[in-house]
Chain A
Amino acid sequence: MEETKFTPQTWPDKPEQATMEGRNKFVGIWIFICSDITLFASVFATYLSLKDKGPAGMEYSAAELFELPLAFVMTMLLLTSSLTSVYAMYHMKNHNFKGVQIWMSITVLLGLGFLALEIYEFYHYVHDGFGYTQSAFSSAFFTLVGTHGLHVVIGLVWIVCLIVRNARRGLSLYNAPKYYAASIFWHFIDVIWVFIFTVVYLMGVLG
């Protein structure tokens, strides 16, 4: 397929849907997210039914364990990264490839910051004796937050691959849908985190 050279004037309004493949990817990522929502719904339900459940005399409970300041900083990092990926998409629509790469890179940095804090948090819990096998509650907690963490890792690897692979090629109708799909996936991760913040941390400390 010959590459067409685009200028901001000839660049289509919706570059992610301008080709057949692009449209397929656009619909596909949304459909995939529908199924991923169901996946998280199942893990959330499991967590809620096992919250604070453990062997007789278990010393850990959500109210004692979780600390809101750390969770708040993590939330802010991830929410901001969602905003920066919107900036990247804004530049993609205006055919400004440099803007796309810069804002996507900032998104990755913020995501890495979030991941580092999450690893610190897990390390802290395990160090205190709240390990994966300690109780039904600990298994459910690490599974729920860990599944989200795994999604963050996948999202980061995905976006880094896109940034590195396309660094010298510029924006085309072939890679625009790929950037778009990755950003949608990143927003989805962010929305799931909002639920985790509410259900696990807020309701854990307050409820």
Chain B
Amino acid sequence: MSSAAVSNKKGFGATLWDYLTTVDHKKLGVMYLFAGTLFFAIAGLEALLMRIQLMIPNSDFVSAGTFNELLTMHGTTMLFLAATPLLFGFMNAVVPLQIGARDVAFPFLNSLGFWLFFLGALFLHLSFFLGGAPDAGWTNYASLALYSPGHGIDFYVLGLQISGAGTLISGINFIVTIITMRAPGMTFMRMPLFTWTSLISSALILFAFPPLTVGLFLMLVDRMFEANFFDHTMGGNTVIWEHLFWIFGHPEVYILVLPAFGLFSEIIPVFARKRLFGYSSMVFATILIGFLGFMVWAHHMFTTGLGATANAIFAVATMAIAVPTGMKVFNWIMTIWGGSVKVTVPMLYALGFIPSFVAGGVTGVMQAAAPLDYQLHDSYFIVAHFHYVIVGGIVTAIFGSMHFYWPIMFNRALSEKLGVLTFWIFFTGFHLTFFLQHFLGLMGMPRRVFTYQANQGWDLFNFISSIGAIMMAIGVILLVINIIITAKSKPLNCRDYWGDGRSLEWAIQTPVPFYNFKQTPLVRGYDPYWLEKHDGNEEGMVYAEPLGDIHMPNNSILPLIMSIGTFIAAFGALYHPDGKAWAIPVLILGLAITVGAMIVRSVKDDLGFHVHVEEVIATEEHLYGKGGNK
């Protein structure tokens, strides 16, 4: 590995091996980004098929059963396998640079987290080819899921169990990284907002994923090993699933939206060319949202019948979340206020985000009123609400940040012109699709129906909504074209691409060498790079240590082997209820591979390697020419 310090042209096999074994946070960030984009495209296609089906009344484009599979896989894939990895991609690519670290705290676990996520996602998608996808909705309520025929639900349970373990591991990794690996001078209250939101979002993962793990396990043993958790004839109770799922499911929304908030809190000050307004209140609001996020899960269950007292408590707690979220919105507006705003593509997404997300938030507060929720529950109003939050909040953040961080991640810049076009088509399509769905819901159209009768006043709005969905698809295709064009463009080899970078990630020259900063930077205040620029420091940063040997972690294939073991074991569990004789041996074989790889990992010393000073200097000269990283 140490010879790879000076990157030469490598063959396809060597490159593939490098990506299969890599523990470098920058490469894993890229892998998360592409895997997330792949699943985003698949889930988007599923959405498109649903909208084509609903375009006209009494349509028979897809059958009712297929529609159930499409809506389940669309929701599950978008939340677990598209939004989460895309945000993890940015966390991996940016957070270690923002805090001036060489890598994350556990590079090996970082790789394990990715491979578990990816193989779990692959397993879930194999259901399409092996007898049908899950069809009980992304919430997979036990009363529906327990008796669903075929293996769809089993794929859901096992696939999410594997990829959920990966997400949990990555979450732990980021918490430890942010606590222990910050550069000298980077106190908690000097951390960039994206690092803060990544920390809080990882903490939410830490407490939200175990209940999901338990819920999925109970569903697994109920369906595959004849346990009785949800079977009421044997004393079980399906409401347990609802609780466990939503104790996970509600924080999951904040797991996704907090990093999105963080990304916009990075984008807005750079292009408003002003310090972020109310930094400490932003931090406080982030923590408060994270805390309150755990106190509100039963607002998804108002109609389950928990009683008036429980409903009232959860209604009030839910409304309280609007307060810290409102603080954030005002802080963004105040940052833009009076700034000398440059409207680039990332800023365009930020400007589109604020009103869209506020609209989604307001409808959320409406649903928090339990009596009104009885009317809105399971109608298209709900669909409109959470798409405003997720597309208006999270997808805009992801698209905006792709433009914003592409120079750091790939040493190339996405086309601005094509980006502006993409934004307007996507943004118009988004509002066209979902704005009218509010009214469809108020007019009584239930969600998750595969068709509807004509002349109920729903025809026109459904038609327009489907046109909007097609526009969103065109927007995404334009973004992909932009990425392909950019891949062939000339490398930038620059520092601070946008010219107004404020935090540490902009202080490093692209392409970023595999060891990041050649010397650990010294952080002298909030917005450290802006501070140095302001003081006329030509070199970028002041460094906390002399140029010396750099200690780096070794690559390893073990994470992939461990993940493949769980992947094999999942097949054993899946086919066990069919009475296949090979099912249990396959389950044991898979687990043995995983445990064996863990023991190898534990017993074999992995001390990493040192990059010597001469090698560092040589790498810098190779990347940036004589004089190194100036």
Q: Which residues of A contact B551 (CB under 8 A)?
A: 1
Encode contact with A along B151-172: 1 for CB under 8 Å, 0 otherwise.
0000000000000000010011
Is B211 a contact of A55 with CB atoms below 8 Å?
no
Which residue of A23, A38, A45, A138 has the most chain B CB atoms within 10 A of its CB atom? A38
Check if B605 sits within 8 Å of A54, measured CB to CB. no
A140–B221 alpha-carbon span in the complex (Å)? 11
* Inter-chain contacts of A41 with B (CB < 8 A): 210
Q: Is B150 an interface residue (CB 8 A)?
A: no
With A and B bound together, what is the CA distance between A197 and B365 in angstroms?
43
Q: A55-B233, A55-B234 are in contact. Are A35 and B172 (CB under 8 A)?
A: yes
For A113, the chain B residues whose CB sits under 8 A away are: none
- Please provide the chain A residues from 14 to 48 with a CB less than 8 Å away from any CB of chain B in the complex: 20, 23-24, 27-28, 31-32, 34-36, 38-39, 41-43, 45-46
Q: Which residues does chain A contribute within 8 Å of B214, judged by CB atoms? A: 39, 42-43, 46
A35→B207 contact, CB < 8 A: yes
Q: How far is it, in angstroms, between the C-alpha of A73 and the C-alpha of B43 when the chains are bound?
A: 54
Taking the nearest CB of chain B, how far is it from the CB of A45, in angstroms? Answer: 8
Interface residues on chain A, number (Cβ under 8 Å): 39
Query: Helix, strand, loop or mixed for chain B's interface?
Result: helix
Residue A132 at the B interface, CB < 8 A?
yes
**Is B581 an interface residue, CB under 8 A from the partner?**
no
Q: Contact: B172 with A136, CB < 8 Å?
A: no
For the complex formed, measure the closest distance between the CB of B435 and the CB atoms of chain A, giving whole angstroms: 38
Pairwise interchain contact A39-B213, C-beta atoms closer than 8 A:
yes
Count of A-B contacts judged by CB separation below 8 Å: 114
Q: Is the C-beta of A109 less than 8 angstroms from some C-beta in chain B?
A: no
Shortest CB distance A97–B (Å):
17
Cβ B176 vs Cβ A31 within 8 A: yes
A-side contacts of B206, CB under 8 Å: 31, 34-35, 38
A125 to B106, CA, bound (A): 43
Residues from chain B with a CB closer than 8 A to the CB of A114 are: none
Residue numbers in B under 8 Å from A165 (CB-CB):
602-603
Q: Is the interface of A mostly helix, strand, loop or mixed?
A: helix
State whether the Cβ of A161 lies closer than 8 Å to any Cβ in chain B.
Answer: yes
- Closest B residue, CB atoms, query A39: B210
Taking CB atoms and an 8 Å cut-off, the chain B residues in 165-188 that contact chain A are: 168, 171-172, 175-176, 179-181
User: Are B235 and A55 in contact, with the CB atoms below 8 A?
Assistant: yes
Closest to A56 in B: B233
Most chain-B CB neighbours within 10 Å: which of A27, A58, A137, A138? A27
A161 cross-chain contacts in B, Cβ below 8 A: 599, 602-603
Q: For chain B, residues 215 to 241, give those with C-beta under 8 angstroms from any C-beta of chain A.
A: 215, 217-218, 221-222, 225-229, 231, 233-237, 240
B interface, CB within 8 angstroms of A: 105-106, 168, 171-172, 175-176, 179-181, 206-207, 209-211, 213-215, 217-218, 221-222, 225-229, 231, 233-237, 240, 243-244, 247, 551, 599, 602-603, 605, 607-608, 610
Can you offer 12 A-B residue contacts whose CB atoms are under 8 A?
Answer: A1-B551, A38-B206, A39-B214, A46-B229, A50-B229, A53-B235, A132-B226, A133-B227, A136-B229, A139-B229, A140-B229, A174-B605
Given A23-B180, A132-B225, A136-B236, 18 other A-B contacts at CB below 8 A? A20-B180, A24-B106, A24-B176, A27-B179, A28-B172, A28-B176, A31-B176, A31-B206, A35-B207, A38-B207, A39-B211, A39-B213, A41-B210, A46-B218, A50-B229, A53-B235, A55-B234, A55-B235
